[in-house]
Amino acid sequence: MNSSTKALEPTLEVLPRDLSAYRQGNVGVDYVHRFDSGKPGPHVLVNALTHGNEFCGMVAVSSLLDAQVRPRVGTLTLSFANVAAYETFDAAKPFESRQLVHNLNRIWSSEWLDGKEDSPELRRARALQPIVAQADHVLDIHSTSQDVEPFWVYAGFPRNGEVALAIGRPSVHLVMPDGLGSGTPLIQYGQFGQASGKGAAMVVECGQHFRRATSDLATGVARAFLAHFGLIPPDPAPLPAASPRRFQLLQTCVIKTTEFRFVRPCIGFEVFAKGELIATDGADEIRAPCDDCTILMPARAVHVGREAVYLSRPLPND
């Protein structure tokens, strides 16, 4: 277990709201709303609640709907993904509504989508499959269990990095040259996972799940993403940018046993020397594969079969 967080219960600055008013969409799929400008331009999808307790995306997408934001060119689609998990939120157990059965952000492969298994997440992914396929660009809004610096996550194609750099914030980038390594996320579905694809598809991890600042950042990034592709005017007071810091994902470690332990408390962005022990998992050891190995997304609790930690290395800024 990650002993750094066991005793620390989060402050719930943001709580779920009733989303029933958004259930009736206009494309034949619940909680999906599409607005066509009638003018040529890209089709941009902004997706929220891939995980049910990541409220910042809910705030960002509902704010766009409440403000009746409409694209001046192209098409805008706004979606709430795992509403079923979201609706199980219990403030006494705020991390438990992440998913019902499957991780909705690991099943976007033909193996899962066309397979015989069934779950609320698989049914939802199958319903959303054509929605994602129709988009030219995708922003999938997420948050983190730990209170760490926000960051982008994207496949290592230049088209993704160019968008992240143009938007400017978050300034930290986690680049996946070979995919995630523990399943297929939404941002690598179809053409978005191919070097020959044309669209940008990115996760933005906006900060700790329940902080107000996380939702504020998510809202700002969503608007900046739409403005980047010309769907809405640029914000006259854009998000402040900082010098970018880029990391390459080297390995995604998955928890194998209930004996998994980090060797010291970790919340993310800790740095290890080559060969240094990071965690043990039963008889297995997880050691840093390189100098300056930076870890991201260390597990808050032990769940066999879920990710333990991402191992990365810093990249130079080209």
pLDDT digits (tens, 9 = 90+) for 201-230: 999 999 999 999 999 999 999 999 999 999
pLDDT of residue 2: 57
Percent of the chain with pLDDT strictly greater than 70:
96
Average predicted confidence (pLDDT) for the chain: 95
Helices (H) and strands (E) in the chain, counts: 6, 14
pLDDT of residue 19: 98
pLDDT of residue 1: 52
Residues of the chain with CATH 3.40.630.10: 20-228
Residue 241 clears pLDDT 80, i.e. is over it: no
Residue 7 clears pLDDT 50, i.e. is over it: no
pLDDT digits (tens, 9 = 90+) for 172-204: 999 999 999 999 999 999 999 999 999 999 999
- Cis previous bond, 71, omega within 30: no
Enter the DSSP assignment of 22.
G
Strands (E), 156-232: 172-176, 201-208
pLDDT digits (tens, 9 = 90+) for 260-280: 999 999 999 999 999 999 999
Q: Give me the half-sphere count of Cα atoms (radius 13 Å) on the Cβ side of residue 232.
A: 19
Cβ-proximal residues to 134 (8 Å cutoff; 6+ apart), any chain: 43, 77
CA distance 61 to 186: 17
36 pairs with which residues across the strands?
75
Longest dimension (CA), the chain: 60
The hierarchical CATH code for the domain 20-228 is 3.40.630.10
Q: Following CA atoms 284, 286, 287, 293 in sequence, which dihedral angle do they give, to the nearest 10 degrees?
A: 170
pLDDT of residue 236: 80
Strands (E), the chain: 32-36, 43-48, 75-80, 137-144, 151-155, 172-176, 201-208, 245-254, 261-262, 271-272, 277-281, 284-287, 293-296, 307-315
- Return the exposure string of 49-72: e unless at least 16 CB atoms fall within 10 Å of the residue's CB, then b: bbbbbbbbbbbbbbebbeeebebe
- The answer to whether 52 touches 88, Cβ cutoff 8 Å, is yes
**Main-chain phi, psi angles of 164, to 5 degrees:** -60, -45
Cβ neighbours of 86 (radius 10 Å): 23
pLDDT digits (tens, 9 = 90+) for 117-168: 999 999 999 999 999 999 999 999 999 999 999 999 999 999 999 999 999 9
Report which of residues 206 and 317 the model is more confident about: 206
Residue 3 clears pLDDT 60, i.e. is over it: no
Residues of the chain with CATH 2.40.50.630: 248-315
Location of structure tokens 């008889």: 283
- Options 3.40.710.10, 1.20.1600.10, 2.40.50.630, 3.40.50.261; which CATH number does 248-315 get? 2.40.50.630
pLDDT of residue 4: 39
CA distance 231 to 209: 28
pLDDT of residue 128: 98
